[in-house]
Structure 1
Amino acid sequence: MPVSMNASDDGYCYHCGLPIPEGVNLTIQEGPQTRRFCCVGCKTAYQLIQSAGLEEFYKRRDPQQSGGRPDEENLAALAAFDDPIYQKTVVRALPDGKQRVHLLLEGIHCAACVWLNEKVLSGLPGVTSAQVNFSTHRATVTWDPAQTKLSQIIHTVRRIGYNGEPYDPEAVEQSHRKRDRDLLLRMAVAGFGAGNVMLIAVVLYAGFFTGMEAQYKHFFHWLSLVLATPVLFFSGWPFFRGAINGLRLRTLNMDLPIAIGATITYSYSVWITLSGVGEVYFDSVTMFLFFLLTGRFLESGARRKAANATERLLSITPKLASVVRDGDEYQVPVREVAVGEMVRVKPGEQIPLDGTVLSGGGGVDEAMLTGESVPVLKTLGDSVAGGTLNVDGALEIEVTRIGDESAINRIVRMVEAAQAARPPIQTLADRVAGWFVGAILIMASGTLAYWLTVDPAQALENTVALLIITCPCALGLATPAAVVVATGAASRAGILIKGGDVLERLARAQRIVLDKTGTVTLGRPTVQRVVLDADVGEAYLLEIAASLASASEHPIARAIAAYARDQSGENPRRPERSRNHAGLGIQGNWGDEQEARMGRAPFIAEWLGVDALEPPADANPFTWTAVAENGRLLGWFALADAPKPDAGEAVAAFHALGLETTLLSGDRAAVVEQTAAEVGVNHAIGGVLPGEKEGHVAQLQADGVAVAMVGDGVNDAPAMARADVAIAVENAADVSMETADVALLSPQLATAARAIAIAQRTMRIIRQNLTFSLVYNAIAIPLAASGHVLPIVAAVAMPLSSLIVVGNALRLNRIQPLPGEVTH
């Protein structure tokens, strides 16, 4: 049945011409005319065509042809993506009611593809964020399910020419193989055509010098034309498609000069073949397309190798779990296990899901998370992460996190976010690369005009060589390739870097500010002395202190609770009401008549109404904690916290990397100064309240110093937020993890130094890549324009330059030892 393509009031879609489903009311008002559409995809496609200035499309197309809307069967198939059961495995529900999905996009091959998908997806109703990762070909989309369905998102992506499906780790390799097969097929056609055309070219060259009858020469020209045509239009289609998409969107990409060069050379050779006068260049067309496809294939493999950190993490998690249900053990797919169920893990097996040890114990190899190869002892109550290896003991685990909330998936999200984020240096390179293509076309036009007046026989060859050899691809890949490799390598070392911009800020850091407890020290203080006030029994002091400590997670509170438990063997009586005063102490109430407090001397002195409260005199610089009840002092606890075994080496590494170090703590100045002296920190500042920590960081910044802050507690969060870059150590409080730009999964302080070393090395690699790209083009452009480069040589040099940039970035996969570090 004929359909009206240019009317909007007859029940047919203005864009695709198919009937508009009942109840769909998608319109655009243009003056007196109302354009009606059958779906969001058609409306978006129409808006894109209009914004690109291609209104003539609707006037010129055949009114009997559909615009390509999926048929009803395909639409029904897409509806399966909206199944709630299916979405449990691929869609993440966010706290604000929105949803997030990772889509694997087939067909992404340049920055224009990224721009188009982000623009189209962001235009859908309810879509609040759409970000495409060029390295992994994945789109992260956040949307309101009340306004848009997942099937509509996928439908829209497919309408603009990209095959999009929810990301499934098991489907990634299949997608890679499909893309590689397509490239290999195009390479095979190009290689077959190029090989045969080159053989014919040898005959023609021989005939040029020895003489050849015109009829044979014409025959070989026609034979070359027949062989070269499928190479241009089939093997060269990816370049033409990229150029057309770029022009449609009013952007210039590297596919454009390639397509122009190939078309000019082919068209000129066709004209020579038809006219029978002159020499053909079909050999040049076929050979440089073959070399370009080969380069793209190798570059794709190198990029995939650089970007497979997340696939590697996801692939190591087991697919089955041994679940205990009603006393019986079942092998169940991991995705079907619920929170609260019990899982058994035998020695030598991988732990399938995050959980807490219910029974058993033994060493667990957490190298895949922290980079540390030494197994960590796990006993009753300890947390374990899915994907880690149970080395030598049977475990029964209660599942605490599944799906997107698991440790591995959270790491994957952070790594992907880091790889997608663009540092400032990349933004500049992207702008330069965009203008560079326009400059190439201008220079090529000038080269053609010049050689037409000087030596017309060389004009075509020199122009094509210039179009091919110039390469903003290397410039465009210089930064993202390094960022992708660096973040992947860092994740394997137990370092999560949240963005490419973080790498740049981390590399610029001049001063590293270190929290003391839990960062430089072990974070496990122990009670060294107990001093009682007059007429106070030790048992009573321990009872009150343990009760207060039971309501706090602070390391000092835990140490006092453990000491009291060891002395009395009894569990404390928790306060009916308790309140933590950040950085000061804790108060507890039992009814209306009993209140007790424990904490720093100024905190207790203020409550007791005295000007000052001095801890007992002692030659050792202990951390003193006072305990008081109902307005009177009960006594003191003296605690000490040893530095981490690698703290001295880590501080030495900071200094070797060119950073000044400051130890900043709320602990007593004498304690902080002693710890600083033990580990070699340059500056020590003690007795600092949480708000004052932020002030110290701000003062350093006011003096022009770029500050990196390393911390682990709630009281560190304001200072970490103020710092140029924040680093949270292992087991940091959730708020510190959220504030941090870098999260360390290893307990070693040296991991922070390694993060800075990786950042500094990454910026060196980026600068090397950018320098190489600029020098390459500065040399290649004059050589090509002056006629010193053949098109064949240009076709080899252009992809080779991109491969060099990617190969240089891949050097970041090798984790180099820190200054002074001993390797085995």
Structure 2
Amino acid sequence: MSAQPFATACYHCGLPVAVGASWSVRIDGQARPMCCPGCEAVAHAIVDAGLADYYRTRSVFAERAEGVDLVPPELALYDSAVVATQGEQREGVYAHGVYAHGVYAHGVYSHGVYSLDGIRCAACVWLIERRLARLPGVREAQVNVATERLHMTWDAAACKPSDIVQALRGIGYTAYPYEAALHGVKQEKNRKKQFRQLFVAGLSMMQVMMYALPAYIADDGTMDAPMAALMQWASLLLTIPAVLYSAQPFFRGAWASLRARMPGMDLPVAIGIGAAFGASVLATLRGTGEVYYDSVTMFIFLLLASRYLEMTARRKAARALEDLQRALPAAAQRLAGWPASRQATMVAAASLAEGDVILVEPGSAVAADGVILEGHSDIDLALLTGESRAQARVPGDELPGGAINTTQAIVLRVTRVASDSTLARLVKLVEKAGQGKPRIAQWADQVAAWFVVGLLLLTVAVFIGWQMVEPSRAWQVAIAVLVVSCPCALSLATPTALAAATDALVRRGVLVVQPHVLETLQRATHIVFDKTGTLTEGRPLLRHVEPLATLDAARCLQLAAALEAGSAHPLALAIRTAAPSGAPHATELHSEAGQGVEGTIDGMRYRLGRDGYAGAAPAPRWPDVSNVYLGVDGVLLARFELADALRADAPEVVRRFKARGQTVILLSGDDQSVVSRTGAALGIDTAIGQQLPEQKLAYVQQLQAQGAVVAMVGDGINDAAVLRAADVSFAMGGGAALAQLSADCVLLSNRLSALDDAALGAARALRIIRQNLAWASVYNCVAIPAAAFGLINPWLSAAGMSLSSAVVVINALRLRRARTA
């Protein structure tokens, strides 16, 4: 069978176009050839949508569209879910995934996450987002190029999932609902390919070195010409796999950057490899001249090794976030007849409703947020809060979805459905994380691009200069200049440092949502704290027990705990938590709203509650203290003083920020006297109370107008506006969902000391990034002139460049070791 002759390349996918082919599309005023009807249809769809700029800005060809069914029948499966009705919020389960439905001001909306195939460069992102923005009813379309995911929000009445998939297929991209397992399989496949390329390059390097070493150590005349030629031919055969297979990423990246007219760091690498290999092949064929097979294989191996390290760091950082997404179980054991019946029925976690009672067995994850009704157990919250030690939980305690029950079976009443659970909210935050780059990373990319252009011009000048001085060395010196340079350190090490720092912070319970957090926190001049739930626990704690009769404090506390055994009131929970073990059993319990509770213990009738209810006595009045009294037969036995206590770590956190020279401010809606006392206890000089949400916002904006860089820390719904307005903001993990969604960072552990961990992590990350950039600058300033003057040969240049990349990556990986001081 004769080979098919070809005339040119397809303008859409770059594959050859057969002679006589009639497919074409008019783009930018010219008829562009197409290789098949599929590419022609896709190109027509792009041009007809007014998106021809895609072809001017793309950096690589698109995937071939031949055989793509633009309207596949299975698209209807995406629309088979029950659509939410006005006023509801539900979930629809599609053939290949789950989409959340909700309600906005003008109707019902849906949100979905898609995996994308066919993304080749930044122009693909531009094309996808603009094509989808033109669909009726689409409210938001964001592509995360790093994870190859599309986040969509659309009006369910005007747009269907099949419309989205069909629109993407129409411009040559395949989309399907995101599934963590499939996405992980794809990532693992790419990792294995990179490892195979690294392995082949390493094997080639070691074998070539075996043949190159005798030539280096041989004295004049000790190796005859036939033996030297044999060594060179063997080296050539062993270098070919490294160049044709292992070096593929560099050549593809270089070609992409040339097509985009934006020279990237792969360009000098590819030119260096190609030039050194081409010169070596020519010298081998001629039987005279220098060969650089050892330099080529060493260069490819060391650079691939540094990139493999960088990829590993990124994957480890991403894995900590993806674990959150996989933590919520798909099923739960519902106790429909509890407490009369203990018969458990396995149901989908998504079908649980508020008020359902579920059984959580040892070793199982909690399917939804709830309150323990029965059972004592230790709970592992490591995934949610970063706390490594299991924590004891008793009836009345709240548990978040995703927590792991470790010891005893417990019975739980669902307080939030799975789609609105603590973990589900965190997953939404995770989806926002990692999109975009901080300014320092963008600066590094821009510098690297200009660096590459300057390097190429310098290489040409060096080659011309050596042609005039010593032509025999011109090619060798030019190759050394190309190879020795290290733009990788500028573009590679900065994201590696950020990924490693993010990984370390997630393991300590700090979820970085926005990319600028570490950089802005390091520059912050003012740290503004809310009070309740931020500097304080946000719930009453027993501060003091004052016996008023013959019984001691411990016995009074046991009696009070017995009376409050079945109550869910925050004050009752505080008393039960503080009571020593061995509390008696109370019977004939009776409560009066707003007054207290009474019951019989060991034949005596006790009352617990307000002073007038438990017994007549004068009571001290403090605006931030609740007093609860225990009495019997009208005689007061004890006074329990409960207050919203300061967090144990608050004083040290405030002290550390002040020690760094940052101004600490307390801004609260509470009474001024309470705020002043809290500020005095913490050593905060500026403590402002009685602030409405709009007043908090105005205060922060006033600071910013004066040149301050403001970091805001809060937890309540009323903090959402000021959190969004601050330069960088932090929400407590136990705070309101709206506050978390408005913040740039969430302290999952609900520890205030995690904020100090973030500050330390920010300082270390920025310090290491500056070290990397400084190292890259110094290295290039020394190595490039040395190579240009002929002081460094190509193999030494390859070692220097690759080791330079490895140094900055390894330096960045030090950030994965979380430090607390």
TM class, shorter-chain normalised? 0.7 to 0.9
Contact 1:666–1:687, Cα closer than 8 Å, also in 2: yes
Distance in 2, matches of 1:154 and 1:32, equals: 25
Contact 1:419–1:483, Cα closer than 8 Å, also in 2: no
Amino acid at match of 2:761: I
Correspondent of 2:278 among 267, 275, 281? 267
Distance in 1, matches of 2:167 and 2:490, equals: 32
Post-superposition offset of 1:512 = 1.9
Match of 1:570 in 2: 592
Correspondent of 1:89 among 90, 97, 116? 97
Match of 2:611 in 1: none
Q: What secondary structure, in the 3-state scheme, does the structure 1 residue paired with 2:220 have?
A: helix
The question of 1:771 aligning with 2:774 is answered yes
Correspondent of 1:699 among 702, 707, 711? 702
Correspondent of 2:111 among 99, 118, 121? 99
Contact 1:79–1:151, Cα closer than 8 Å, also in 2: no
Match of 2:181 in 1: 170
Contact 1:221–1:273, Cα closer than 8 Å, also in 2: yes
Match of 2:785 in 1: 782
Q: Deviations over 1:713-736 (max 9, x none)?
A: 333344434432232224323333
Computed over aligned residues only, the root mean square deviation of the Cα atoms, in angstroms, reads 4.7
Match of 1:762 in 2: 765
Correspondent of 2:433 among 398, 404, 418? 418
Match of 1:734 in 2: 737
Runs of 5+ consecutive residues of structure 1 not aligned to the other structure: 19-25, 59-65, 529-552, 560-565, 574-616, 626-637, 819-824
Correspondent of 2:662 among 659, 664, 681? 659
Post-superposition offset of 1:425 = 1.8
Amino acid at match of 1:758: G
Amino acid at match of 1:295: S
Runs of 5+ consecutive residues of structure 2 not aligned to the other structure: 19-23, 82-92, 544-567, 575-587, 596-617, 627-640
Alignment of 1:804-815 (within 5 A): 804-815=807-818
Contact 2:434–2:514, Cα closer than 8 Å, also in 1: yes
Match of 2:361 in 1: 346
CA change 1:663–1:277 in 2 (3 A) is: closer
Post-superposition offset of 1:30 = 6.2
Alignment of 1:70-89 (within 5 A): 70=67, 85-86=93-94, 89=97
The question of 1:395 aligning with 2:407 is answered no
Distance in 1, matches of 2:406 and 2:241, equals: 58
Amino acid at match of 1:622: P
Contact 2:25–2:43, Cα closer than 8 Å, also in 1: no
The question of 1:118 aligning with 2:121 is answered no
TM-score between the two structures when normalised by the length of structure 2? 0.73
The question of 1:129 aligning with 2:132 is answered no
Count of residues paired in the alignment: 704
Distance in 1, matches of 2:518 and 2:303, equals: 32
CA change 1:237–1:719 in 2 (3 A) is: closer
Q: What secondary structure, in the 3-state scheme, does the structure 2 residue paired with 1:141 have?
A: strand
Distance in 2, matches of 1:321 and 1:224, equals: 62
Amino acid at match of 1:817: T
CA change 1:3–1:719 in 2 (3 A) is: same
Match of 2:84 in 1: none
Distance in 2, matches of 1:466 and 1:791, equals: 8
Match of 2:711 in 1: 708
Match of 1:578 in 2: none
Distance in 2, matches of 1:710 and 1:54, equals: 42
Post-superposition offset of 1:151 = 4.4
Q: Deviations over 1:103-155 (max 9, x none)?
A: 2769x9xxxx5524423422433474333353xx4433326554865645775
Q: Structure 1 residues 434-443 or 683-692, which shifts more? A: 683-692
The question of 1:141 aligning with 2:143 is answered no
Contact 1:622–1:639, Cα closer than 8 Å, also in 2: no
Alignment of 1:276-315 (within 5 A): 276-314=287-325
Distance in 2, matches of 1:713 and 1:174, equals: 40
The question of 1:487 aligning with 2:487 is answered no
Contact 2:324–2:423, Cα closer than 8 Å, also in 1: yes
Match of 1:186 in 2: 197
Match of 1:367 in 2: 382
Post-superposition offset of 1:639 = 8.8
Match of 2:66 in 1: 69
Amino acid at match of 2:149: A
Post-superposition offset of 1:499 = 1.0
Post-superposition offset of 1:365 = 2.9
CA change 1:114–1:333 in 2 (3 A) is: farther
Distance in 1, matches of 2:515 and 2:31, equals: 47
Q: What secondary structure, in the 3-state scheme, does the structure 2 residue paired with 1:522 have?
A: strand
Match of 1:231 in 2: 242
Q: Deviations over 1:598-636 (max 9, x none)?
A: xxxxxxxxxxxxxxxxxxx999753599xxxxxxxxxxx
Distance in 2, matches of 1:517 and 1:192, equals: 62
Correspondent of 2:488 among 459, 470, 473? 473
Post-superposition offset of 1:39 = 4.6
The question of 1:51 aligning with 2:59 is answered no
Q: What secondary structure, in the 3-state scheme, does the structure 2 residue paired with 1:653 have?
A: helix
Match of 2:802 in 1: 799
Amino acid at match of 2:772: N
TM-score between the two structures when normalised by the length of structure 1? 0.73
Distance in 1, matches of 2:148 and 2:479, equals: 34
Distance in 1, matches of 2:376 and 2:409, equals: 6
Amino acid at match of 1:122: E
Alignment of 1:515-554 (within 5 A): 515-524=530-539
Amino acid at match of 1:674: R
Match of 1:243 in 2: 254
Distance in 2, matches of 1:269 and 1:116, equals: 37
**Percentage identity across paired residues of the two chains:** 36
CA change 1:302–1:463 in 2 (3 A) is: farther
Q: What secondary structure, in the 3-state scheme, does the structure 2 residue paired with 1:524 have?
A: strand
Contact 2:46–2:52, Cα closer than 8 Å, also in 1: yes
Q: Structure 1 residues 692-701 or 197-206, which shifts more? A: 197-206
Q: Deviations over 1:61-104 (max 9, x none)?
A: xxxxx955246699778997787554563545565635331527
CA change 1:166–1:765 in 2 (3 A) is: farther
Contact 2:59–2:258, Cα closer than 8 Å, also in 1: no
Distance in 1, matches of 2:112 and 2:16, equals: 29
Distance in 1, matches of 2:371 and 2:127, equals: 44
Q: Structure 1 residues 286-295 or 330-339, which shifts more? A: 330-339
Q: Deviations over 1:385-436 (max 9, x none)?
A: 2331224442233556677654334324424533233112222222111211
Q: Structure 1 residues 317-326 or 341-350, which shifts more? A: 317-326
Q: What secondary structure, in the 3-state scheme, does the structure 1 residue paired with 2:537 have?
A: coil
Alignment of 1:373-392 (within 5 A): 373=388, 375-376=390-391, 378=393, 382-392=397-407
Post-superposition offset of 1:52 = 5.7
